[in-house]
Structure formats: structure tokens, C-alpha cells
Amino acid sequence: MTGPDEGILTLEPLIEAVRQAVETAGWELSGLQKTTSHQFEGRWQGDSTRSAYLFFHLPDGPDHVSVDVYLDETSRGLTGNLALVVDLVPLGDIGDVRDALESLATPSALYVHERHRRPVTVRLRLADAAEPLDEAGIEVRFKVRLGKATVAAGAEPVSDFTAEVLESFQKVLASEQLERFVSHDR
């Protein structure tokens, strides 16, 4: 629920503000999952958390690219992050890992505004423990955190933030540094 001059207070309006901006940028919703959790022991005893995961793809785009959004409502407020997710060539084709990570981090540093934290995560996965290591799949995630201050400013600032991040993600996706690691056999 929001008013014209107040921030977003619950998960649903946050989902709507982010979703509208992502879809306006040309991405299509692939999936939406909501969860509720209750912490019964430990540091957050008695707290509940509601979360939403939104998954988007480009309708005419490659299958190996998506935008994943995680939004979280807790007693401490609303937060989240947006991630550009790209499947890369297998591990055997990546070359030197340090060189690859440096190359993958470069477009995020270049195109995502420096006022944001810009984590880059690389995940390796084997479809089966007996699979040859050179065939391990690689996924890179370029993330940007949606902060409490933006959420507190309201739906329009959240949508503007999301649009800015997606514009940056498009530049990352088109970058020469990322392109060299993307498989075109998909």
C-alpha cells in the first residue's frame, strides 16, 4: 500500500513497481514465486519474512539470458536485488579463471553506476558428479541491490531505479567483455 507521497510499505506494491519497469523495458515475466517464512529460533526469533522471486526473459531474445529479481519484506523493512543472469561457455572453454573474472567484472564496473554496489557472482555446476570437469556449466550474475531508501521514496523512484538498472544490464549484455564468454550454440 502506498500513497502519493509515501514509500512502499508492503511487498505487493514493490512487486508491481519493479515488474512494471522490467516489462516496460521489454522483458516478459517467466515466473513469480512468493514465500512466507517464520523464524522460531535464533537471532530473528518471532520474525516473519515474505519474499518474492520474479523471473524475466526477452520474448525474442536468447534462452541463456534472464533477469531475476528477489524482493524481501521483513520487520526491518523492504529490500531486494536485481540480477542479470547469463549462462556462459563450459569451464573447459573459459581459459584462465582470473582473466575471465576480471573480464566479466569490467562491464559491470563500466555500465552500472558506481553509486550502487555491483557484485558479480560466477557459479559452476556439474550436471552429474561423474561429468568431466571441462563440461561444467558456468553462470554469471550481475547484481544491483535495491535499497531501503529507494523503496521508502515510493513506487515511482523504485520504477525509475529499476529502469536505470535494466538499461545498464542491456549495456553489460552487449559488451565485448561478456560476449567472448557467451556460447552461441544454444
Is residue 61 very low, low, confident or very high in pLDDT (cuts 50, 70, 90)? confident
C-alpha cell read off for 16:
508491481
Query: 104 exposed, middle or buried (CB, 10 Å; 0-12, 13-18, 19+)?
Result: buried
pTM for the predicted model, two decimal places:
0.89
Does residue 148 register a pLDDT over 60? yes
Relative orientation angle of helices 97-111 and 155-174, to the nearest 10 degrees:
140
Is residue 167 very low, low, confident or very high in pLDDT (cuts 50, 70, 90)? very high
DSSP per-residue string spanning 111-122: HS-TTS---EEE
Does residue 3 register a pLDDT over 50? no
Does residue 16 register a pLDDT over 60? yes
**Between 100 and 43, where is the model more confident?**
100
Across the range 150-170, mean pLDDT stands at 95
Q: Where are the domains of the chain?
A: 11-179
Across the range 35-52, mean pLDDT stands at 72
Is residue 18 very low, low, confident or very high in pLDDT (cuts 50, 70, 90)? very high
